[in-house]
């Protein structure tokens, strides 16, 4: 009877530790997605104002998005979670996409083979707010 009780405690402990690891990984992924969403919005707001307002917008309805990666990097520097971000402008020249990656270290992760960390990835897309002001946008 004692070995069965010991096994029940071991299984119960693994379930508890597993839920702690899964919860920590979920929260880290949610935080990464939140940072990635903010960076995409910051990149979409990186409109080259003088080029847009003074020189006008071309007939191809492409926004002069200048310094998108710099805006994303500036946003990432505000968060000291060491998130890697790569920004790109879509073919429509209005939408900014940001790919984010981070290695998180969940509590008790080594028990389930994540001693060196858990690689997490997120993507976010944001459309420039001035896109609606363009002809055809």
What's the pLDDT score for residue 1?
92
* Cα dihedral value 106, 86, 41, 22, nearest 10: -20
What's the pLDDT score for residue 56?
57
Under 8 Å between Cβ of 104 and 115: no
What's the pLDDT score for residue 58?
47
Local structure of residue 87 (DSSP, 8 states)? E
CA distance 85 to 123: 9
What's the pLDDT score for residue 10?
95
As averages over each run of 10 residues, the pLDDT of the chain (137 residues) reads: 95 92 91 90 75 54 69 80 81 83 86 86 86 51
What's the pLDDT score for residue 89?
81
User: Can you give the pTM of this predicted structure?
Assistant: 0.73
What's the pLDDT score for residue 133?
52
Domain layout of the chain by residue ranges: 2-133
């Amino acid at each position: 009877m004692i070995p069965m009780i010991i096994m029940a405690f071991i299984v119960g402990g693994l379930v508890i530790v597993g839920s702690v690891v899964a919860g920590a990984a979920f929260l880290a992924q949610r935080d990464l997605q939140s940072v990635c969403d903010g960076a995409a919005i910051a990149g979409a707001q990186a409109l080259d104002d003088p080029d847009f307002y003074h020189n006008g917008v071309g007939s191809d309805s492409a926004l002069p998005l200048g310094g998108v990666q710099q805006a994303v990097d500036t946003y990432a520097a505000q968060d000291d979670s060491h998130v890697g971000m790569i920004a790109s402008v879509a073919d429509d020249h209005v939408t900014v996409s940001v790919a984010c990656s981070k290695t998180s270290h969940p509590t008790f992760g080594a028990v389930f083979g994540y001693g060196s960390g858990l690689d997490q990835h997120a993507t976010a897309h944001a459309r420039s707010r001035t896109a609606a002001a363009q002809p055809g946008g």
